[in-house]
């Protein structure tokens, strides 16, 4: 991840520099939801930091809901806030289009959705 730059002369601790830069990239959409982050060890090596420093940044990002860790599968940018709403809207449009194709009326479609959500 060459997008990150650590300033060793900064008064901001390195873990905070990593954390804030990843969060800013996620907020700006430069790291999209689902984007896999490098392993702790790899990012630490790339940035010349201790693995514990990067691990702390990842932990804090996870606690803030910016990333999700899926065990051995890795750490990924989380789907959050406006991303979640946008994805839900896209799914709703696709569902509505399919219901029209199947000639299912609005009330029946809503009944199907209610049943699916409660089950």
pLDDT per residue as tens digits for the range 79-93? 876 767 777 887 888
Tokens of 98: 């399919």
Helix (H), strand (E) at residue 90: helix 81-101
Half-sphere exposure of 110 (CA within 13 A, CB side): 3
Could you confirm whether domain 14-77 is CATH 3.40.50.300?
no
Q: Where along the chain do the CATH 1.10.10.10 domains lie? A: 14-77
Q: What is the pLDDT of residues 15-45, one digit of tens each?
A: 999 999 999 999 888 898 899 999 999 999 9
State how far the Cα of 113 lies from the Cα of 107, in Å rounded to an integer. Answer: 10
Task: Provide the strand spans (E) within the chain.
Answer: 67-69, 75-77
Regarding predicted confidence, which is higher, 90 or 4? 4
Token pair recorded at residue 89: 């809207």
More confident residue, 94 or 57: 57
pLDDT at 2 over 70: no
Query: Model-level pTM greater than 0.75?
Result: no
């Amino acid at each position: 991840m060459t997008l990150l730059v650590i300033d060793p002369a900064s008064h901001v601790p390195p873990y905070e520099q990593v954390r804030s830069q990843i969060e800013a990239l996620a907020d700006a959409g430069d790291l999209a939801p689902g984007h896999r982050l490098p392993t702790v060890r790899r990012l630490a090596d790339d940035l010349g930091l201790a693995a514990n420093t990067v691990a702390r940044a990842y932990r804090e990002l996870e606690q803030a809901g910016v990333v999700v860790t899926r065990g051995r599968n890795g750490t990924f940018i989380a789907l959050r806030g406006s991303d979640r709403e946008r994805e839900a809207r896209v799914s709703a449009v696709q569902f509505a289009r399919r219901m029209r194709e199947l000639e299912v009326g609005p009330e029946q479609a809503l009944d199907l959705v209610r049943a699916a959500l409660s089950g």
